[in-house]
Amino acid sequence: MYENADHFVAPPARPAGRPGLSRVAAAGVAAAVLGASALVGRRNAPDDAHPAIRRWYGRLRKPGFTPPDAVFGAVWPMLETGLAVGAYRLLRRPGGPARDAALGLWLVNAAMVGGWTEVFFRRRDLDAGAAAAGAMVATGVGYAAAASRVDRVAAATAVPFAAWLGFAALLAERVRERNRA
């Protein structure tokens, strides 16, 4: 309430929009979507469970700035935790065009993370992998920007993700260049 000359006036009401999801529902949606993406990514990982993919990836000529495999294994859980926190916060907010746009870009990114591994590792398509990595940078930055209009914490959790995507896109492009048939 604030004072207006002679009397108190209620502050202007915020548009209600659709209510946000409950805590349990928001956590469930974030976990289910990112879990599905992680399962697809895991299915295509160049690790001991997939020796043919591991051998193929090991034979690729990579730039000197390629991190050791253990770095990838450590980075992705942190990035996915950030994405989960961001999605949870967005899902808890009232629905509306800004929130829905941010969530749409979040979903696109979750799908692209799993999809990229399918293209790059399973199909061994370095051209499409590099192109998809570049597209992921654009959608990752778009997600961070869209989330910033709804929830600053959600946007902040997207920044490391977008930065890693930029690095990964550069790496994918250099691998593609060094391994042209």
pLDDT one-digit tens code per residue, 63-109: 999 999 999 989 999 999 999 999 999 999 999 999 999 999 999 99
Write out the H or E segment, with its range, that includes residue 26. helix 23-43
Is 115 a domain residue?
yes
78 SS3 class: helix
| Backbone φ, ψ for residue 99 (5° rounding) | -65, -45
Is 11 a domain residue?
no
54 SS3 class: helix
The reported pLDDT for the residue numbered 6 is 58
Q: Which residue has the higher pLDDT, 1 or 53?
A: 53
The reported pLDDT for the residue numbered 175 is 98
Q: Residue 9's CB: how many other CB atoms inside 10 A?
A: 11
The reported pLDDT for the residue numbered 133 is 97
Is 13 a domain residue?
no
Is 2 a domain residue?
no
% pLDDT > 70, the chain? 91
Q: Residue 95's CB: how many other CB atoms inside 10 A?
A: 16
Q: Which structural domain, as residue segments, surrounds residue 173? A: 22-178
The reported pLDDT for the residue numbered 18 is 84
Q: Taken in order 148, 36, 127, 73, is the CA torsion positive or negative? A: positive
Over 50: is that where the pLDDT of 178 sits?
yes
Q: How far apart are CA 142 and CA 93, in angstroms?
A: 19
Number of separate domains in the chain: 1
CB 144 within 8 A of CB 163: no
Q: Which residue has the higher pLDDT, 2 or 94?
A: 94
Q: Mind listing the pLDDT tens digit for each residue in 131-171?
A: 999 999 999 999 999 999 999 999 999 999 999 999 999 99
Write out the H or E segment, with its range, that includes residue 3. strand 2-4
Categorize the per-residue pLDDT at 60 as very low, low, confident or very high, splitting at 50, 70 and 90: very high
Is 107 a domain residue?
yes
Q: Mind listing the pLDDT tens digit for each residue in 122-131?
A: 999 999 999 9
CA angle 123, 124, 128 (to 5 degrees): 85
Is 112 a domain residue?
yes
20 SS3 class: coil
pTM: predicted TM-score of the whole model, two decimal places: 0.86
Is 172 a domain residue?
yes
Instruction: Tell me what the mean pLDDT of segment 112-121 comes to.
Output: 95
Tokens 């000359």 correspond to 5
CATH of the domain at 46: 1.20.1260.100
Give the distance from CA 129 to its chain's centroid. 16
Over 80: is that where the pLDDT of 17 sits?
no
Q: Which residue has the higher pLDDT, 81 or 18?
A: 81
Is 1 a domain residue?
no
- Please give the mean pLDDT across all residues of the chain: 92
